[in-house]
Amino acid sequence: MSNAAPPAPRLASLDALRGLAMLFMATGGLGFAAIAAEHPDSAFWSFLKYHTTHAAWLGGGAWDLIQPAFMLMVGVAIPYSLASRRRVGESYQRSLLHAIGRAALLVALAIFLTTGDRPRPEFAFHNVLAQIGLGYVFVFLLADRGWRWQVGAIVILATATWGAFVLHPLPGPGTNFRDFGVTGEKLRQCVLPGFLGHWNMGTNVAAHFDRWFLNLFPTAKPFVFNGGGYQTLNFVPAIITMTLGLMAGEVLRGERTPRGKTLWLVGAGATCLALGWLAGATVCPIVKRLWTPSWALASGGVVLWLLAAFHHVIDVRGHRAWAFPLTVVGMNSIALYVAHSLFAGPLAGIGRTYLGQATFAGTYGPLWSSLFVTGMLWLFCYWLYRRQIFLKL
């Protein structure tokens, strides 16, 4: 890790959008799901719950866009990082070694955070940091290769991922989905009919791979299924998401006019969203928990639109002051992620101790608790910002 100040110039819109995604994550959903449970007949609270919790299987809301936003912005940052290293005379080979080291550190940090206080390491690779680490070097190798190589890589990855799922046998009529943790409402939501059954929870090719791969590591008990349906091989189509970010980053660093850059982001976002929706409606369901190619494209399209809006308002029009609270977080996204993973629970406990149990009781208690924890984490990032400490791998 380094505490050196980040090199200038930075893409201000990237810091702000990254900060928005990370702050949204830090809220833990603002407690809206718990509040919605107290108002079962309220369409308003049901709407907020949908967009602050993960989709059960098909589709997705605002909460599901946090990870693709973070991953796509990793790709956006690569051209800026490469340019910064070239300015100080670093060779490509040394930059590649740095990328390999960064990828390894991301995977190691993911394992550390997943393990927590367990008595032995928890070798799981579905964490967003692990997913980025597993695909990062591949995306790095696509930098400066031109859009034909990059689009070609996206097509190959999407086709190969889709083909692997389709070629894997469908579950037989006697399959007991309960053996794979698919019970209750999941039987209705996560077991798909006909051809779409290739993307069922627990019986798809990626789940089958993990029942082999994850049992190669020392475990307290044999791995059978991931309760959320997340799989290690999600990193392969997630490379699509990061490559879209890489392409966007190269455009933003390029010679186009500011208006041309914004229009490219809008057009690319529309193209990805249309292709994702079309695939989702025909041959490849949109399943965030499997990072299907249709999800990678559709979610990537939405994030590109968000980046276009932030770029136009902040970088082109120069309206930066409003984004300062987001920028503070975006410039220390790794610090916030780790702090949230380690200290969100203890911070909530501190709030109850010093502000009183009654403050966080009742129907809206989860909301106040979420705001308290998020506020404390923001203050931590602000403290780092004031001291010009920027933690990065």
List, for residues 204-255, the tens digit of each pLDDT value. Answer: 999 999 999 999 999 888 999 999 999 999 999 999 999 999 999 999 999 9
Range 122-144 average pLDDT:
96
- Rounded to whole angstroms, the Cα distance separating 118 from 133 reads 23
Residue 4 confidence (pLDDT): 45
**CA quadruple 320, 253, 23, 100: dihedral, nearest 10:** -150
Q: Does the pLDDT of residue 6 top 80, yes or no?
A: no
- Rounded to whole angstroms, the Cα distance separating 205 from 234 reads 11
Q: Are 78 and 249 in contact (CB under 8 A)?
A: yes
Residue 113 confidence (pLDDT): 94
Residue 117 confidence (pLDDT): 83
Give the global pTM: 0.93
pLDDT band per the 50, 70, 90 thresholds, residue 1:
very low
Residue 118 confidence (pLDDT): 86
Q: Are 76 and 252 in contact (CB under 8 A)?
A: yes
- What is the tens place of the pLDDT at every residue in 16-58? 999 999 999 999 999 999 999 999 999 999 999 999 999 999 9
Please report the sign of the dihedral spanned by the C-alpha atoms of residue 323, residue 328, residue 333, residue 336: negative
Q: Does the pLDDT of residue 135 top 90, yes or no?
A: yes
- What is the tens place of the pLDDT at every residue in 156-172? 999 999 999 999 999 98
Q: Does the pLDDT of residue 12 top 80, yes or no?
A: yes
- What is the tens place of the pLDDT at every residue in 54-74? 999 999 999 999 999 999 999
Q: Does the pLDDT of residue 120 top 90, yes or no?
A: no
- What is the tens place of the pLDDT at every residue in 287-305? 999 999 999 999 999 999 9
Range 364-385 average pLDDT:
96
pLDDT band per the 50, 70, 90 thresholds, residue 9:
low
Quickly count: other Cβ atoms within 10 Å of residue 94's Cβ.
11
Nearest Cα to Cα of residue 47 among 32, 59, 34: 32
Range 106-125 average pLDDT:
92
- Rounded to whole angstroms, the Cα distance separating 31 from 367 reads 5
- What is the tens place of the pLDDT at every residue in 304-362? 999 999 999 999 999 999 999 999 999 999 999 999 999 999 999 999 999 998 888 88
Q: Does the pLDDT of residue 2 top 60, yes or no?
A: no
Nearest Cα to Cα of residue 344 among 190, 116, 140: 116
Residue located via tokens 């209705």: 188
Residue 328 confidence (pLDDT): 97
Range 181-203 average pLDDT:
94
Quickly count: other Cβ atoms within 10 Å of residue 211's Cβ.
14
Give me 49's structure tokens.
């719950």
Residue 350 confidence (pLDDT): 93
